[in-house]
Structure 1
Amino acid sequence: MQLSAAPYEERLTAPRTWWLLAFLVGVSMALILLPFGTLPMLGGLAGGTAVAAVVASSYGSVRIRVVGGHLIAGDAKIPVSALGEAEVLDAEEARAWRTHKADPRSFMLLRAYIPGALRVDVTDPADPTPYVFLSTREPERLAQALRAAKESADAA
């Protein structure tokens, strides 16, 4: 397996405030179960917090990687040879591409808590997907990794 010239990996983790919210869900469950006694209340606190933490963790476990000549974003695996130019989007432009500029045929890996994004055209004529939209905390670095992977794939 050939590795790209500039491997990239990012995990789109949930923000810290979500963990506080997970605890508050546990507190809410404890308050709901308080009339049933201390033991059910403690079970509600532990269980509610655990369930909310699992949900936050799983939502924030999605990864974006550039490795082996492929862009892997969540469940999508796209060869870099099928990708065109990458456009780095600031928060305002990313919001526009998530809303009124969005094409329903595009592949979008959205995380609302991440303001920056990268939009990459799909150049494969057999693929009906016009572009890939990726929420990312480091759009410049991801664009650079895609360019390096494409150059190494073209050189091979």
Structure 2
Amino acid sequence: MNPYRERLTPPATVFVATALVVPATLLVFLPIDQVVGVVVAVLFYAAIVIALVVTSPVLTIDDEAFSAGRARLFPYEIGDVRGFSGAEATQQRGPGLDARAWTLFRGWVKPVVRISLTDGTDPAPYWLVSTRRPDEVVRRLETLRQRTPGR
């Protein structure tokens, strides 16, 4: 199986919105020194952009497991898998969410995948994970799950 990898990075609109740090920084630092103000504004914006990209979680599905950020599920732990988008995804993230569920959401990624767990001792009944391609994630997780003997 070819590995699946998806980084949940923010859309361009988030980077445009964070550019508002530039005039705010200039407002504070220009009275002190113009060069310092411009340099600090550029550095602040660059730091925010880098932080947004570097801290974006990564989803991976390979031959061994499914990883969402630093958490990992092995094939024998994966139960029923369903993808949701639109109003169904909003329902899953909101009123339909079990407080015990393990979640990995990003506000800028609306679709989600719900992965039921087969481990009865796990306090989380399921994982709910944001993804831009729920159908592909469901298909790949089903393929991974079928590798478990007895399924």
Q: Structure 2 length as normaliser, TM-score?
A: 0.90
CA contact (8 A) 1:30 1:43 kept: no
Q: Deviations over 1:37-74 (max 9, x none)?
A: 212211222222122212322342x1111113311001
1:41 matched to 2:34? The reply is no
1:135 matched to 2:130? The reply is yes
CA contact (8 A) 1:6 1:148 kept: no
Structure 1 moving runs of 4+ over 3 Å: none
- Per the TM alignment, residue 6 of structure 1 is displaced from its structure 2 partner at its CA by 4.8
Structure with more of its chain in helix, by fraction: 1
| Equivalent AA in structure 2 for residue 50 of structure 1 | A
- Measured in 2, the distance between the counterparts of 1:59 and 1:15 equals 14
CA contact (8 A) 2:110 2:132 kept: yes
Report SS of the residue matched to 1:17: helix
1:102 matched to 2:97? The reply is yes
| Equivalent AA in structure 1 for residue 60 of structure 2 | R
- Measured in 1, the distance between the counterparts of 2:99 and 2:70 equals 18
Question: Aligned to 1:50, which of 46, 57, 75?
Answer: 46
Higher relative contact order (CA 8 A, sep 6+): 1
CA contact (8 A) 2:75 2:147 kept: no
- Deviates most, 41-50 or 124-133: 41-50
- Measured in 1, the distance between the counterparts of 2:2 and 2:125 equals 25
Report SS of the residue matched to 1:129: coil
Find the counterpart in structure 2 of residue 13 from structure 1: 9
- Per the TM alignment, residue 106 of structure 1 is displaced from its structure 2 partner at its CA by 0.8
Structure 1 unaligned spans of 5+: none
- Measured in 2, the distance between the counterparts of 1:75 and 1:63 equals 8
- Per the TM alignment, residue 17 of structure 1 is displaced from its structure 2 partner at its CA by 1.3
- Measured in 2, the distance between the counterparts of 1:130 and 1:77 equals 15
Q: CA RMSD in A?
A: 1.6
- Per the TM alignment, residue 26 of structure 1 is displaced from its structure 2 partner at its CA by 2.2
Structure 2 unaligned spans of 5+: none
**Percent identity between the aligned chains?**
25
- Measured in 2, the distance between the counterparts of 1:139 and 1:88 equals 5
1:65 matched to 2:68? The reply is no
**Corresponding residue pairs, total:** 150
Find the counterpart in structure 1 of residue 78 from structure 2: 83
Q: Structure 1 length as normaliser, TM-score?
A: 0.88
